[in-house]
Structure 1
Amino acid sequence: MAILNVRSISWTAIKAQKINLIIIGFFLIYLLNNLFISEESFNEMSTIERFLPFIILSVVLPSIGHRKFLALFPVSAFAIGFGFLLTSIFDVFIHHNFEFLSFDLFTKYIHPVYFSYLLFFSICFIDLNYKGKNKYILEFILFVFLIFSGSKMVFLFSLVVVSLNFIKNKKTTLLILPLAIIVVLFSPLKHRFSEIINKEDLTVLNEKHIEKPNDTRVNGLTLRLILWRETLATMNGIDYVFGKGVSKQTNKTLQKRLYVLGLTHHLNFNPHNQYVDTFWRTGIIGLLLLISIPIYSLVIGGVKRRDKLLIQFSLFMLAVMCSESIFGRVNGIYFFSTVILILMNTTKHNENSNIRD
């Protein structure tokens, strides 16, 4: 894309919006850390390769970005979602097991969390730009995909977005009630909610060595708490300023602690928290730049522009970084950087002139 639009690249457009410079700075912190802090230096730069979309998109999108491109996100969400649904129904028919409509068995080759991010943004986009019965039908379909994907936090955030509409339009009840019934009846999702409210599972946090790698107390919540604790425990002294490095060698320090703890089935896990992950790898400098991305977008969107879509997405980004390392895969980097850059480098549509009736 950068090559095709090289003539359109404008340094003036890049400088005009500070978010472009913040994201470029975030990439440069990782690059410098890889070269001068990480043990492997030039010999291992897989993280920098994964982070390349940050600098490419920050240079290209300010000159060619347009809000009309955002409509492609819900289009792709429907296309991917129906593809997953059809293949999962086929799997259920073959194996007689409804678990194929849940979480990673539903999303197949895409991590369910990243598909959930796409669904959330699509719901927000439709909620602001559509009206009438078509709006609720489209949102209902996306919510069903979201339930099957199994991401608890994203599901709740999406419900909040739609519920806020209830104040202005009681027809929202037509969407919320069927969703509530599906949540109650759909056992895989019920199980994912019930596992985080079992206080007995928290006792695993006091274990100095977990005897069974498949200990049932190690669930989505307790695993994250353990990962955060063990990650931060590897830091000391100058690590708090510059981090421990962004290369694979840094991952091995966490792997060793998890092995000693007994979590032998989770040795390849990242910290599952973008704040912790960035602080661990790049120190306080990288963490401040990371936080600046959604905070600056929120300030601009909320105070200066009154841009509801930008406000919702910035708040969402701030929240999901608490439970996931959203930049741990290139899918997350492309998604979040593309959306935030387009939103920040373009002006909003008139949200009262809905594009569909």
Structure 2
Amino acid sequence: MKILLRAIYPYAFLLLYLILPFDNYVRALPNILLIVLVAAFPFVITKKDIQKVKTIPVLILLGFILFLLGNALIQGRLETDINIIKKVLIAFGLLLLYFPVRNVDKLKKIVIFSSLATILFSVINVIIVYNTSEELLFKSYPLLIESLLIDRIYLGFLSVLSILICFDFLRPKFHPENRYYVVYIIINLLFLILIVSKVALLILLAVLITRQFYGKTKKVRILVTVIALTVMVFGYLQFNKEIVQQDFLKSSQNTETNFFKKTLTWDIRTIVWHCAGVISEETGLNLFGIGFKETKDRLADCYEEKIVDPQKKNRFVSDRYNTHNQYFDFYLSTGLIGLILFVGFLVYLIVSNRKVFFATALVVVLIAYCFMENIFHRQLGAYYAGLILILLITENSRNLNKTIKESEEA
């Protein structure tokens, strides 16, 4: 029985991440696979796998989760906050469930295939909608977004991860597989441009700058860094100019139909970040937070009070937009202690993996997306956060083993 479970277990885990973007079409299957993994876990885990739990990053993350649970219980808000805490537990649980799998390269390739399948499905769907709709697709922002398989920010998340993994698989010298990974990188990049995922493209630009700190040929790297920074500064100045010219709190700006000007949803983020700042000032020094539900309630109250335009106000209040920033969310909901634990975990990962570009780039991606999205407010976000944790912890273990081996040889 154990032999059969050990044979099936890795494929069930890989299948979970392959079909994850298709959750809306096979909604029951990810949950079934998760149940299978949890049920089989006690039979496939070994003593060697259990030792992986004792690593520093896993213990820091475990401490963060215990704080979330203990803080919510002591403050009397466990019942209302458990829904978000469960998402953090899912990410941590996936990390634990991965330990018996071992072969991380197969998981990386599954992410690539999942991204390609998602792109293919989305493009086909966009073509179908384009051929059946009387509206011009690229002038109707909602129509294009609804044609995509999953939310655009998570499509960007998946494509960025796929590009990084493909780059990590590239060999320094000629290898037949290199051509495929280059093609995969180009496909993902073209798709990000097609859907105008500016967040993902800016994050890729940040990753490109990070890459310049690794390797030789310094003159070329300095030139690339200067060009990339120039593009980022230009983009920031353009965005800042738009913010100054447009008062998001007063006007709904519903007359604008140009797709390319409405793809970044700064309208939403500018307002929710403003309200998050207002709540932060009202609460003062916040050690233990006000809870996830209370944070959303106060945000809704802020929208009601601050937004002047009636149509926009109704939309924000009825949709109860969250902070769209994981750091804001953890600070307001779990307090300064919760934020320090979470940031401390990220800092440890980036410091311990600083010599390896792939791992450093993964931390950069996670940090950047946490600035733009509450990844633990969506189950899909929790799954992909778990994926990054798996890749990072695996890379961290590799680096640790390599260091120990080098010290023994010396």
Q: TM-score range by the shorter chain?
A: 0.7 to 0.9
Spell out, residue by residue over 1:225-280, the C-alpha distance to the aligned partner (whole angstroms, 9 max, x if none).
3312312322455761001112x343111101111112332231111111111101
Range that drifts further, 267-276 or 1-10: 1-10
Alignment of 1:170-185 (within 5 A): none
1:144 and 2:190 correspond: yes
How far residue 322 of structure 1 moved from its aligned partner, in angstroms, is: 1.7
Alignment counterpart, residue 265 of structure 1, candidates 301, 304, 315 = 315
How far residue 294 of structure 1 moved from its aligned partner, in angstroms, is: 2.3
Range that drifts further, 90-99 or 230-239: 230-239
Percent identical pairs in the alignment equals: 20
Query: 1-side partners of 2:46 and 2:94: how far apart?
Result: 11
**Aligned to 2:286, what secondary structure does the other structure show?**
helix
**Aligned to 1:240, what secondary structure does the other structure show?**
coil
Spell out, residue by residue over 1:182-207, the C-alpha distance to the aligned partner (whole angstroms, 9 max, x if none).
xxxxxxxxxxx7996362533555x8
TM-score by length of 1: 0.77
1:202 and 2:253 correspond: no
Alignment counterpart, residue 363 of structure 2, candidates 299, 308, 314 = 314
**Count of residue pairs brought into register by the alignment:** 321
Q: Residue 331 of structure 2 aligns to which amino acid in structure 1? A: F
Q: What's the RMSD between the two structures over aligned residues?
A: 3.6
How far residue 72 of structure 1 moved from its aligned partner, in angstroms, is: 0.9
Alignment counterpart, residue 386 of structure 2, candidates 313, 337, 341 = 337
**Aligned to 2:63, what secondary structure does the other structure show?**
helix
Alignment counterpart, residue 133 of structure 1, candidates 158, 161, 179 = 179
**Aligned to 2:377, what secondary structure does the other structure show?**
coil
More helix as a share of residues: 2
Task: Label 1:57 to 1:22 Cα distance change in 2 as closer, same or farther (>3 A).
Answer: farther
**Aligned to 1:5, what secondary structure does the other structure show?**
helix
Query: 2-side partners of 1:294 and 1:87: how far apart?
Result: 37
**Aligned to 1:45, what secondary structure does the other structure show?**
helix
Q: Residue 311 of structure 1 aligns to which amino acid in structure 2? A: T
Alignment of 1:150-299 (within 5 A): 150-159=196-205, 161=207, 197=239, 199-202=241-244, 210=250, 212=252, 214=254, 220-235=265-280, 236=282, 240-246=286-292, 248-262=293-307, 263-267=313-317, 268-299=320-351
Kept in 2: contact 1:22–1:289 (CA 8 A): yes
Range that drifts further, 237-246 or 268-277: 237-246
Kept in 2: contact 1:14–1:21 (CA 8 A): no
Q: Which residue matches 2:63?
A: 25
Q: Which residue matches 1:347?
A: 398
Q: Which residue matches 1:178?
A: none
Q: Which residue matches 1:105?
A: 146
Task: Label 1:104 to 1:293 Cα distance change in 2 as closer, same or farther (>3 A).
Answer: farther
How far residue 106 of structure 1 moved from its aligned partner, in angstroms, is: 4.0
How far residue 213 of structure 1 moved from its aligned partner, in angstroms, is: 8.1
TM-score by length of 2: 0.68
Kept in 1: contact 2:112–2:162 (CA 8 A): yes
**Aligned to 1:49, what secondary structure does the other structure show?**
helix
- Return the structure number with greater relative CO, CA threshold 8 A, min gap 6: 1
